[in-house]
Chain A
Amino acid sequence: MPELTVVGRPVVRKDLFRKATGSGQYTVDLELPRQLHGKVLRSPFAHARILHLDPGPALKLPGVLAVVTGIDFPVGYWGSHIKDQPPMARGVARYIGEPVAAVAAVDEEVAEEACQRIQVEYEPLPAVYTIEEALAAEAPLLHPDLLRYERNPQVCRPQANSNVLNHTRIRRGEVEAALRRAVLVEEGEYRTQAQEHVSLEPSACLARWERDGHLTVWSSTQCPFIVREDVARSLGVLTHRVRVIVPDVGGGFGGKVHVRLEPIAALLSQRAGRPVKMVHTRYEEFIASTVRHPSWIRLRAGLDAEGRLSGWQAEIYFDTGAYSDSGEMVSWQTALGGAGPYRVGDVAIDTYAVYTNKVPAGAFRGMGWPQVMWAVESHLDRLARRAGIDPVELRLKNALRDGDETVTGERLEGVGLVECLQTAAEAIGWGKPRPAGHGRAVVSVMKSSAPNSTASAVVKVNEDGAVQVVTGAAEIGTGSHSALAQICAEALGVSYEAVEVTAPDTAYAPFDRGAVSDRTTFHLGDAVYQAALMARRQLLEVAAARLEAAVEDLELEDGILSVRGVPERRLSFREAARLSYVRHGGPILGQGRHLEEEIVPLHPETGQSPRACSHYKFGAQAVEVAVDPETGMVQVEQVVSGHDCGQAVNPLQVEGQIQGAVAQGLGYALMEEMRFEAGQVTNPTLMDYPVPTAPDVPPIRAIAVEVPHPHSPFGVKGVGEPGIIGVAPAIGNAVHDALGICLSELPLTPERILRALEQAGDSRPGSRTEIPAPWDPE
Chain B
Amino acid sequence: MALNLKVNGRSEWVEMDPSRPLLEVLREGLGLLGARRGCETSYCGACSVLLDGQVVHACTVLAGMADGREVTTIEGISSGEALHPVQSAFIQAGAIQCGYCTPGMVLAAISLLQHEPNPTEEQIRQWIRGNLCRCTGYQKVVAAIAEAAAALGRGGGNHA
- To the question of whether A and B form a pair in one complex, the answer is yes
Of A75-83, A314-322, A474-482, A576-584, the segment with at least 4 beta carbons within 8 Å of chain B is A474-482
Q: Is B56 an interface residue (CB 8 A)?
A: no
Question: A20 touching B138 by the CB < 8 A rule?
Answer: no
Interface 1/0 per residue, B91-129 and A, CB below 8 Å: 110101111111100100000000000000010111011
Task: Give every chain B residue within 8 A of A700 (Cβ-Cβ).
Answer: 137, 139
B9-63 at interface with A (beta carbon < 8 Å): 32-41, 43-44, 46
Smallest distance from the beta carbon of B125 to chain A beta carbons, Å?
A: 4
Q: Which residue of A lies closest to B43 (CB)?
A: A686
Question: B137 touching A697 by the CB < 8 A rule?
Answer: yes
Q: Is A200 an interface residue (CB 8 A)?
A: yes
A19 interface neighbour in B32, B102, B122, B129, Cβ under 8 Å: B102
Q: Is B141 an interface residue (CB 8 A)?
A: yes
Task: Give every chain A residue within 8 A of B126 (Cβ-Cβ).
Answer: 694-695
A697 interface neighbour in B75, B135, B138, Cβ under 8 Å: B138
Q: Is B152 an interface residue (CB 8 A)?
A: no
Question: A20 touching B87 by the CB < 8 A rule?
Answer: yes
Question: A16 touching B36 by the CB < 8 A rule?
Answer: no
Interface 1/0 per residue, A657-672 and B, CB below 8 Å: 0011111100000000
Of A249-257, A610-618, A675-683, the segment with at least 4 beta carbons within 8 Å of chain B is A249-257
Question: B99 touching A15 by the CB < 8 A rule?
Answer: yes
Smallest distance from the beta carbon of B136 to chain A beta carbons, Å?
A: 5
Q: Is A188 an interface residue (CB 8 A)?
A: no
Question: A250 touching B36 by the CB < 8 A rule?
Answer: yes
A78-132 at interface with B (beta carbon < 8 Å): none
Smallest distance from the beta carbon of A137 to chain B beta carbons, Å?
A: 41
Task: Give every chain B residue within 8 A of A22 (Cβ-Cβ).
Answer: 32-35, 73-75, 102-103
- Complex CA–CA separation, A250 to B46 (angstroms): 11
- Complex CA–CA separation, A193 to B129 (angstroms): 25
**CB-based closest 3 A-B pairs:** A22-B34, A477-B98, A19-B99
A237-254 at interface with B (beta carbon < 8 Å): 248-253
A6-55 at interface with B (beta carbon < 8 Å): 10, 12-13, 15-26, 28-29
Interface 1/0 per residue, B120-157 and A, CB below 8 Å: 00101110111111111111111000000000000000
Question: A282 touching B97 by the CB < 8 A rule?
Answer: no
Task: Give every chain A residue within 8 A of B129 (Cβ-Cβ).
Answer: 693-695
- Beyond known contacts A19-B102, A477-B100: 10 more, CB 8 A cutoff: A21-B87, A22-B102, A26-B36, A199-B98, A248-B98, A248-B99, A251-B134, A252-B98, A477-B98, A655-B140
Smallest distance from the beta carbon of A192 to chain B beta carbons, Å?
A: 19
Question: B87 touching A282 by the CB < 8 A rule?
Answer: no
Q: Is A628 an interface residue (CB 8 A)?
A: no
Task: Give every chain A residue within 8 A of B44 (Cβ-Cβ).
Answer: 200, 282, 686
- Complex CA–CA separation, A655 to B141 (angstroms): 13
Task: Give every chain B residue within 8 A of A477 (Cβ-Cβ).
Answer: 97-100, 135
Task: Give every chain A residue within 8 A of B91 (Cβ-Cβ).
Answer: 12-13, 16-17, 20
Question: A200 touching B100 by the CB < 8 A rule?
Answer: yes
Question: B98 touching A249 by the CB < 8 A rule?
Answer: yes
A-B contact pairs, 27 of them (CB 8 A): A13-B96, A16-B94, A20-B90, A20-B99, A21-B87, A26-B36, A199-B98, A200-B38, A200-B98, A249-B98, A250-B100, A251-B135, A282-B39, A476-B98, A477-B135, A656-B137, A660-B97, A660-B137, A664-B134, A687-B41, A694-B125, A694-B129, A694-B142, A695-B129, A697-B125, A697-B137, A697-B138
Q: Is A198 an interface residue (CB 8 A)?
A: yes
For chains A and B in complex, what number of residue pairs have CB atoms within 8 angstroms? Answer: 170
Question: A652 touching B34 by the CB < 8 A rule?
Answer: no
Q: Which residue of B lies closest to A650 (CB)?
A: B94
Knowing A691-B132, A694-B138, A695-B126 are in contact, say whether A200-B36 is a contact too (CB < 8 A): yes
Q: Is A281 an interface residue (CB 8 A)?
A: yes
- Complex CA–CA separation, A112 to B55 (angstroms): 31
Interface residues on B, range: 35 or more
Q: Is A452 an interface residue (CB 8 A)?
A: no
Q: Is A368 an interface residue (CB 8 A)?
A: no
Smallest distance from the beta carbon of B159 to chain A beta carbons, Å?
A: 14
Smallest distance from the beta carbon of B42 to chain A beta carbons, Å?
A: 9
Question: A251 touching B98 by the CB < 8 A rule?
Answer: yes
Smallest distance from the beta carbon of A649 to chain B beta carbons, Å?
A: 13
Q: Which residue of B lies closest to A28 (CB)?
A: B37
- Complex CA–CA separation, A281 to B43 (angstroms): 13
Q: Is B83 an interface residue (CB 8 A)?
A: yes
B83 interface neighbour in A21, A29, A281, A687, Cβ under 8 Å: A21
Question: A20 touching B128 by the CB < 8 A rule?
Answer: no
Mostly helix, strand, loop or mixed at chain B's interface?
Answer: loop
Smallest distance from the beta carbon of B120 to chain A beta carbons, Å?
A: 12
B56-87 at interface with A (beta carbon < 8 Å): 73-75, 78, 83, 87
Q: Is A653 an interface residue (CB 8 A)?
A: yes
A663 interface neighbour in B35, B83, B138, Cβ under 8 Å: B138
Q: Is A555 an interface residue (CB 8 A)?
A: no
- Complex CA–CA separation, A26 to B35 (angstroms): 12
Question: B124 touching A694 by the CB < 8 A rule?
Answer: yes
A659 interface neighbour in B43, B87, B139, Cβ under 8 Å: B139
Task: Give every chain B residue within 8 A of A199 (Cβ-Cβ).
Answer: 98, 100, 134
Smallest distance from the beta carbon of A689 to chain B beta carbons, Å?
A: 10
A20 interface neighbour in B102, B133, B135, Cβ under 8 Å: B102
Task: Give every chain A residue within 8 A of B106 (Cβ-Cβ).
Answer: 20
- Complex CA–CA separation, A282 to B44 (angstroms): 10
- Of the candidates B39, B135, B142, the one having the most CB atoms from chain A within 10 angstroms of its own CB is B135
Q: Is A213 an interface residue (CB 8 A)?
A: no
A450-508 at interface with B (beta carbon < 8 Å): 476-479
Question: B141 touching A694 by the CB < 8 A rule?
Answer: yes
Task: Give every chain B residue within 8 A of A652 (Cβ-Cβ).
Answer: 94
Question: A686 touching B97 by the CB < 8 A rule?
Answer: no
Q: Which residue of A lies closest to B139 (CB)?
A: A659
Task: Give every chain B residue within 8 A of A21 (Cβ-Cβ).
Answer: 34, 74-75, 78, 83, 87
Smallest distance from the beta carbon of B142 to chain A beta carbons, Å?
A: 7
- Of the candidates A22, A476, A685, A697, the one having the most CB atoms from chain B within 10 angstroms of its own CB is A22
Q: Is A699 an interface residue (CB 8 A)?
A: yes
A281 interface neighbour in B40, B78, B125, B131, Cβ under 8 Å: B40
Q: Which residue of B lies closest to A20 (CB)?
A: B87
Task: Give every chain A residue within 8 A of B122 (Cβ-Cβ).
Answer: 695
Q: Is A201 an interface residue (CB 8 A)?
A: yes
Smallest distance from the beta carbon of B157 to chain A beta carbons, Å?
A: 14
Q: Is A642 an interface residue (CB 8 A)?
A: no
- Complex CA–CA separation, A10 to B103 (angstroms): 23
Task: Give every chain A residue within 8 A of B137 (Cβ-Cβ).
Answer: 656, 659-664, 697, 700
- Complex CA–CA separation, A248 to B36 (angstroms): 13
Q: Which residue of B lies closest to A281 (CB)?
A: B40
Q: Which residue of A lies closest to B94 (CB)?
A: A652
Task: Give every chain B residue within 8 A of A28 (Cβ-Cβ).
Answer: 36-37
- Complex CA–CA separation, A251 to B53 (angstroms): 29
- Complex CA–CA separation, A19 to B141 (angstroms): 14
Q: Which residue of A lies closest to B92 (CB)?
A: A12
Question: B128 touching A694 by the CB < 8 A rule?
Answer: yes
Task: Give every chain A residue within 8 A of B33 (Cβ-Cβ).
Answer: 22-23, 25, 29
Smallest distance from the beta carbon of A257 to chain B beta carbons, Å?
A: 16
Task: Give every chain A residue within 8 A of B90 (Cβ-Cβ).
Answer: 16, 20
Question: A659 touching B83 by the CB < 8 A rule?
Answer: no
Q: Is A202 an interface residue (CB 8 A)?
A: yes
- Complex CA–CA separation, A148 to B43 (angstroms): 44
- Of the candidates B40, B87, B92, B133, the one having the most CB atoms from chain A within 10 angstroms of its own CB is B133
- Complex CA–CA separation, A399 to B141 (angstroms): 36
Task: Give every chain B residue within 8 A of A249 (Cβ-Cβ).
Answer: 98
Question: B96 touching A200 by the CB < 8 A rule?
Answer: no
- Complex CA–CA separation, A660 to B96 (angstroms): 11
B97 interface neighbour in A197, A478, A662, Cβ under 8 Å: A478
Question: A13 touching B94 by the CB < 8 A rule?
Answer: yes
B36 interface neighbour in A201, A479, A653, A687, Cβ under 8 Å: A201
Interface 1/0 per residue, A700-723 and B, CB below 8 Å: 100000000000000000000000
Smallest distance from the beta carbon of B117 to chain A beta carbons, Å?
A: 19
- Complex CA–CA separation, A96 to B75 (angstroms): 40
- Of the candidates B39, B99, B134, the one having the most CB atoms from chain A within 10 angstroms of its own CB is B99
